[in-house]
Amino acid sequence: MIEVAAGNQPSLAALYDRYASLMLALGLRIVGDRGAAEDLLHDVFVEVWQKAGDYDRSRGSVRAWLLLRMRSRALDRVRSAHRRRTEQLEEGAADRIEGKPADPSAAAERSLIRRALADLPDEQREVLELAYYEGLTTTEISEQVSVPVGTVKSRMNAARAKLRSVLSEPG
């Protein structure tokens, strides 16, 4: 990291060769899209090039520092996408209020999804909302709702199974 901070490009290349696949896998797991994860990986390495001097060995390994940066940027991307979706949903609601017609072919599906979510137990709906709408990891959800990570995962799996069951029933 000292060499990278000093502007040594071969050192940055060595860092990339060593950690890029691990960082890409993490980004892909969080954002769910390979292209977006590759973009994030590039952005993080640009940031590493610019801020290598910020690395502090006493606070953790280079690997941990890189993965934390990747995770943070990926979660930022997920949260940003969520904000855009929310704004679009709010604009769609405003359009309907202003008298602009909503897509009638999707109304039945939206209604079914709303009912399916409403029928979930509160604790299952809560973990799904925190994961999908807030972009939180299972560990962050665990901390927020004060239950073990295993419980969060169990609730999410149960909620997904119930939603799959309801949404796959013939109409």
Q: What is the mean pLDDT of the chain?
A: 82
Block residue for tokens 């901390």? 143
Q: Determine the straight-line distance between the first and last CA of the chain, rounded to whole angstroms.
A: 58
- Tens-digit pLDDT profile for residues 124-149: 988 888 887 677 888 889 998 899 98
The predicted model scores a pTM of 0.49
93 alpha-carbon distance from chain centroid? 25
Q: What is the CA radius of gyration of the chain?
A: 21
Question: Tell me, what's the pLDDT at 56?
Answer: 87
- Token pair, residue 73, equals 């940027």
Residues of the chain where predicted confidence (pLDDT) is lower than 70: 81-110, 133, 169-171
For the chain, which domains are there? 2-77 (1.10.1740.10), 104-168 (1.10.10.10)
Question: Tell me, what's the pLDDT at 100?
Answer: 47
Q: 120: alpha, beta or left, given left = phi > 0 and alpha = psi -120 to 50?
A: beta
Q: Is residue 62 within 8 Å of 1, Cβ to Cβ? A: yes
